[in-house]
Structures are given as structure tokens and as C-alpha cells.
Amino acid sequence: MRQHVNPLSNNFHQIEKIPSLIEMFGDSKFNLHLDVGCAAGDFLFDLALINPSWNYLGIEIRERLVKNAKLKVLEREIKNLYFLFGNANNILNDIQSKFIIKNVKSISFNFPDPWFKKRHYKRRVIQPEFINLLSSSLQKGSLIFIKTDVKDLFDYMDCTISSNFNFKKIDKKDFNYSESFNPSKVKTYREKYAIVKQLDIFERIYMKI
């Protein structure tokens, strides 16, 4: 089993220079989706190919995965996909990346690391301060998608986001996926595994109001 990276380690306090949207993408005016904890980026490679008029940005804390993903983007000359290495909390909290949160239409947290022990909850990527940051910087109408096969983590994430009154839950059956970042409901790597293993999948969508 993979050893989880401790996001609170000193290694991640420093973040790399964040390029502007113009430097990241061929057309910076396209709708922007951010995937937090994108691992090797398979999900985003699929999405970027299927939806060429959206831009996709992945943040991942495992440096080797980001290096490989960036090489693949260059080799394949993909213009609507970019990867950033680091702890998403530190990256998005940094003044350099304020423009990212201002411009994203949607953010996904797909199967985040669960950190089961209570004393490790602070390592979970969704934290109240992080949600406050998103709540104060996201444009109204922006969406947050959460998905996991761990019920306890789902309850924790749901409670953390719902405690912020600037987010309202969207009923999945009222949601029009065709206009979203993922109209064809592409599955993430972990999601495919969860389906094969017949695990329950818990998901929710929130809108900034």
C-alpha cells in the first residue's frame, strides 16, 4: 500500500512560483476547473482531451507524479492542462495564486487521503480555514465537488463545507452535468477501483452563493 505523504511536513512550506493563467494555458479565457490531489493526472488527461474548451489544473503533493504529468503534457502538446506540485492548502493560500481561485468555475476533491486516526485529521486536505478561503475568494455560482468511498471522511468533508454559510448543497438529480467540467462523467483512477470492488461512493456538490 502507498505511504501517504504528510502535507504538514516542512518540505511543503515553500511553494514553487505559480505561473499566470496565460502562461499555463493556450487560451486563458476558457472555463477553468481545478482538481485537488490529482495523483498522476489520468482523470485530467481524459477530461482535457474530451473537453477542449475547458482548462484543467491539477494540484498534487507527490513531486514525481507532477514531473511525469508535466512531461506528458509537453510531449502531447496539450494546451488546456497544467499541473502544480505542492500542498494544495499552501498553494491556494499563497498570494501568488489568488487569481486561480478567482477564476475557477469548479473544484473537485476526488477520493482525498482519509487519514483515519483522529490525531491526523489536520492532515486532511479539506480544513475549515481552507473552506473559508474558498468561500471568500470564489465567484458566486462556483462549484465544489467532493467524492470518496470512506463514509467517515465524507461526513467530515460535508460537515466542514456545510458549516460555511456561503455554500449550498445542490441536489445531484437537479444538476446538469452537460454544462459542467465533466459532461461525460469520466471516472477517476480511484473511482474505477471503487466501482470494481463494489465499494459505496459518497458524493456531493456545493455552490458558492
Ligand X SMILES: C[S@@+](CC[C@H](N)C(=O)[O-])C[C@H]1O[C@@H](n2cnc3c(N)ncnc32)[C@H](O)[C@@H]1O
Residues 61/123, Cβ–Cβ less than 8 Å? no
Taking the complex as a whole, the smallest distance from the CB of residue 188 to ligand X amounts, in Å, to 3
148 binds ligand X (CB under 6 A): no
**In the complex, which residue's CB is closest to ligand X?**
37
Which residues, other chains included, contact 116 with Cβ-Cβ below 8 Å and sequence gap of 6+?
150, 152
Residue in 188, 205, 206, 208 binding ligand X, rule: CB under 6 A: 188
By three-state DSSP, how is residue 55 classified?
Answer: strand
Residue in 33, 105, 190, 208 binding ligand X, rule: CB under 6 A: 190
By C-beta, is 125 or 186 nearer to ligand X?
Answer: 125
By C-beta, is 25 or 41 nearer to ligand X?
Answer: 41
Interatomic CA distance for residues 94 and 194, integer angstroms: 34
Residue in 51, 55, 80, 87 binding ligand X, rule: CB under 6 A: 87
81 binds ligand X (CB under 6 A): no
By C-beta, is 17 or 140 nearer to ligand X?
Answer: 17
By C-beta, is 141 or 196 nearer to ligand X?
Answer: 196
The three three-digit cell numbers of residue 136, written as one number: 471568500
113 catalytically annotated: yes
Interatomic CA distance for residues 163 and 180, integer angstroms: 25
Residues numbered 91-120 forming contacts with ligand X, rule: CB under 6 A: 110-113
Q: In what order do the strands lie in the sheet with 104-110?
A: 81-85, 54-60, 31-36, 104-110, 143-148, 202-208, 167-170
Can you point out the beta strands (E) in 12-156? 31-36, 54-60, 81-85, 104-110, 143-148
Which of the following is catalytic: 35, 113, 152, 171? 113
Single out the residue of 65, 28, 22 nearest to residue 44, CA to CA.
65
Say what the alpha-carbon torsion angle 58, 64, 67, 72 is, to the nearest 10 degrees: -80
By C-beta, is 165 or 196 nearer to ligand X?
Answer: 196
Which range touches ligand X (CB under 6 A), out of 46-54, 81-89, 162-170, 178-186?
81-89
Interacting residues with ligand X (CB under 6 A)? 5, 7, 36-39, 59-62, 87-89, 110-113, 125, 188-191
Residues noted as catalytic:
113
